Structure 1
């Protein structure tokens, strides 16, 4: 049985500073570091000792810092993959959120949502982000491993889950799997039917006081 634990990195500086994230290389806040340690302990509690574990992370600092907390408990060196980065917001990254809000062109309700340009120079389209994440997931799933931990970002996580359930690319225009910062999503494939499940989505119970 293959189990994949998808972590949305916890609170980072861009969250509290009110600036646009994307590829802006923000780092975890002190609260984020504390949450990352809780995430690591929660994963350690459900993955058996001695089990084969692979840890794959976005290469952005806030995801790497989260992965490092997990790595410390599992003795697994994180594999960094740019394909798991958050959607790029181009020239808006690192600027105040209100700067982006004034320029943002929302996607249409119908039509070419995947190729829609949001009005910000250098930003990825939804389709470009999805193709990148799908390619990263192809690499992850080519490697047979009983337990895989993926550390990524809130928007990109939708495409991680969509790739897992083999959602066709042309169906991705409106899909959204909501998972808060610091959450854990569990995906599982059984050995008999080879059905792929979304066991839990955006679980935050490990952060409860």
Structure 2
């Protein structure tokens, strides 16, 4: 059976500084680096030693640093893909969160949500964001590899899971799959029925040893 292990990068500097992430190229904090080590060890414990493994990662520093820890234990080089980045918040990236909060225009409860203008110059719409993550997923799944690791961001995890269950793009505007920083989400496809399961969402049990 194909299994996808989807990692959301752990604590980064923008988290503790209270600034907007998105495409702002923050890096892992010391606590984040320790968590990345725990993530890699947890994945190594879950995946058989003789299994073929592929590793994909967003190209931002916080995800790449996480992927590097995984790469070291598995002996594979990460394939970097900018399409796995977090949503771009345009001019808000790297600014205080309250700067974005004052300008942000939330999407309507009904009507057009995917191409909604959130009021921040240069920011991606949900539609642009979702389409690029969906395209990355389509390419990743062309490979028959049984174990694939994807290192991405908390927001983009929703697009990864929505793509996995073949949710239409227009419906993804309402989707929200929440996963904490440093989590592992497990997705599995059955060989016979080809059902696509969400086995676990946002598992953080491996982080217990890094707390404090």
TM-score interval w.r.t. the shorter chain?
A: over 0.9
d(CA) in 2 for partners of 1:32, 1:189: 30
Q: Secondary structure at the match of 2:166?
A: coil
Deviation digits for residues 93-151 of structure 1, max 9, x if unmatched?
Answer: 00111111111111111110111111100000011100010000010001110100000
Deviation digits for residues 140-195 of structure 1, max 9, x if unmatched?
Answer: 00111010000000111101001111111121111000011000000001111111
d(CA) in 2 for partners of 1:115, 1:194: 32
The answer for the alignment partner of 1:104 in structure 2 is 104
Structure 2 counterparts to residues 51-130 of structure 1, below 5 A:
51-130=51-130
- 1:194 and 2:200 are equivalent in the alignment: no
- 1:178 and 2:178 are equivalent in the alignment: yes
The answer for the alignment partner of 2:141 in structure 1 is 141
d(CA) in 2 for partners of 1:170, 1:99: 29
d(CA) in 2 for partners of 1:194, 1:37: 33
Deviation digits for residues 14-63 of structure 1, max 9, x if unmatched?
Answer: 00011000000000000000000000000000100021000000001000
Aligned residues: 209
d(CA) in 2 for partners of 1:129, 1:179: 18
d(CA) in 1 for partners of 2:165, 2:203: 19
- 1:9 and 2:6 are equivalent in the alignment: no
Q: Secondary structure at the match of 1:200?
A: strand
Q: Secondary structure at the match of 2:141?
A: helix
Q: Secondary structure at the match of 1:100?
A: helix
Q: Which runs of 4+ in 1 moved over 4 A?
A: none
The answer for the alignment partner of 2:155 in structure 1 is 155
- Compute the TM-score of the two structures, normalised by the length of structure 2: 0.98
* Unaligned stretches of 5+ residues in structure 2: none
RMSD over aligned Cα atoms: 0.6
